[in-house]
Amino acid sequence: MGFLASRLDRVRPSQTVAITTLARDLQAAGRDIIGLGQGEPDFDTPEHIKAAAIKALQDGDTGYPPPNGSPALRQAICDKIKRDNGLNYGLDQIQIGVGGKQILFNALMATINPGDEVIVLAPYWVSYPDMTAMCEGVPVVVTGREQNGFKVTGPELEAAITPKTKWVILNSPSNPTGAAYTRAEMKGLTDVLKKHPDIWVMSDDIYEYILFDDFKFVSPAEIEPSLKDRMLIVNGVSKAYCMTGWRLGWGAGPKPLMAAMNKVMSQSTTSTSSIAMAGALAAYTGPHDFIAEHNAVFQQRRDLVVSMLNQAQGLTCRRPEGAFYVYPSCAGVIGRKAPDGKTIDNDEAFAAYLLETEGVAVVFGDAFGLSPYFRISYATATELLEDACTRIQRACAALS
Ligand code: PLP
């Protein structure tokens, strides 16, 4: 339609949002559906965070906040980065946004000229390539092979760099694979980035706190301090603090980039909500013991899901280091026939088969740039996960 902007022609709607919506619609229509498509914790926001937001409302903290966020929250974020990552940031190097998603979008909006290339590592979070395309940039995909834990090596990254490369987006632990980079693996990438001083690094650390088996998170700038002057940290409260609906994320980076992002913010949403900021301040300055408790539950669920999926005919599933996703291969079911005679041609057909026959909603791998796989979010009650995995085993056994 001529009325719509051509910049949207290359943008696909988010498949994860689409599948979650479909699962909800089917459920509302009375079908017995287990939704494993949604990337959000099933735990509620901790009480002390809710209480801080309620108090902000009662105290009349209801006016427009500054576009880059309340000074108190920005200070708490500076303290957090210093404590966790050993990096020093000032108040004017922090930007609070409407979720980490808006920070990513504003950074690309503020920096991408038509034709600029953004390297994204597949399997990737669905939004990286499409946000790049929306900003008229060109996503360049580098695939992390399953044999390498879905992680990209230095030489693989280097082969994708061109004079047009503007950003490389890193995401550890990763959505959709849960894979996290060890210090040595991250150094493989930072050694390459060190040699290319014009390339900027976006480090999407949103799952930083959700790690298992004592795995240690590492920021690229901890390994290679020179990267800090051309790095944007993206993080937020959605995942670790169970605050997805509050819509609060943040970025930390060099002042000129933050000023440019602040300009985008001031001409779009102005800021995020003052109430969400009060909650996030309580999150960063309050007790953190619930995170370890949640991680213990996530780890048990990960082990359950990995073990049950590895018992399903035709599926194999790697044990990830963090986040709350697994990314099993369904190579062994491709080409098989469903009881109704239809062939399972690809991961999209397999996901549709699981939904139709067993009411299990998963997201097919093609949406994340690597097939034939699918993503399961195990941020769901353990009994439901057990039921879902039993249904998946049954669906696989019914293929011939
Ligand atoms: N980055 C990754 C890898 C994600 O999975 C998500 C959410 O799903 C985000 C960023 C953005 O999260 P939010 O906008 O809720 O902060």
> Ligand 1 pocket: which of 130, 150, 239, 247 to mutate (most atoms <8 Å of CB)?
239
> What tokens does 203 get?
């480090």
pLDDT of residue 326: 98
Tokens, residue 64: 């427009």
Mutate to test the pocket of ligand 1, among 15, 121, 126, 175 (most ligand atoms within 8 A of CB): 175
pLDDT tens figures, 40-95: 999 999 999 999 999 999 999 999 999 999 999 999 999 999 999 999 999 999 99
How many distinct helices (H) and strands (E) make up the chain? 13, 12
Contact status, residue 63 vs residue 73, Cβ threshold 8 Å: no
| Mean pLDDT, the chain, integer | 96
pLDDT for residue 17 is more than 90: no
Q: How many CB atoms lie within 10 A of CB 270?
A: 12
Check residue 7 and give its pLDDT: 84
- Best residue among 14, 206, 247 to mutate for probing ligand 1's pocket (most ligand atoms within 8 Å of CB) is 206
pTM for this predicted structure: 0.96
**Which residue owns the Cα nearest ligand 1 atom 5?**
175
Other residues' Cβ atoms within 10 Å of the Cβ of residue 7: 12
Residues 202, 186: Cα–Cα separation, whole Å: 13
Q: Checking DSSP bridges between strand 325-326 and strand 374-377, what pairing results, if any?
A: antiparallel
Instruction: State the amino acid at position 135 in one-letter form.
Output: C
pLDDT bucket at 1, cuts 50 / 70 / 90: low
At residue 386, the 3 state secondary structure works out as helix
Query: What is the per-residue pLDDT for 21?
Result: 81
Q: How far is the CA of 59 from the centre of ligand 1 (A)?
A: 30
Distance (Å) from CA 40 to ligand 1 centroid: 9
Q: What percent of the chain has pLDDT over 70?
A: 100
Residues with CB under 6 A from ligand 1: 39, 99-101, 125, 171, 175, 204, 206, 236, 238, 244, 249
pLDDT computed for residue 159 by the predictor = 98
- Centre a 10 Å sphere on the Cβ of residue 23 and count the other Cβ atoms it contains: 22
* Strand duo 200-204 + 138-143: pairing: unpaired
Distance of CA 162 to the CA centre of its chain: 26
For the segment 220-264, what is each residue's pLDDT rounded down to a tens digit?
A: 999 999 999 999 999 999 999 999 999 999 999 999 999 999 999
Distance in Å, CA 334 to ligand 1 centroid? 30
Give 90-138 pLDDT, tens digit per residue.
999 999 999 999 999 999 999 999 999 999 999 999 999 999 999 999 9
In whole angstroms, what is the distance from residue 186 CA to residue 168 CA? 13
CA of 244 to the centre of ligand 1 (A): 9
40: left (phi over 0), alpha (psi -120 to 50) or beta: beta
Assign 3-state DSSP to the chain and report helix, strand, coil percentages, each to 5.
45, 15, 40
Residues 6 or more apart from 288 whose CB is under 8 A from it?
A: none
User: Cα 363–319–118 angle (5° rounding)?
Assistant: 55
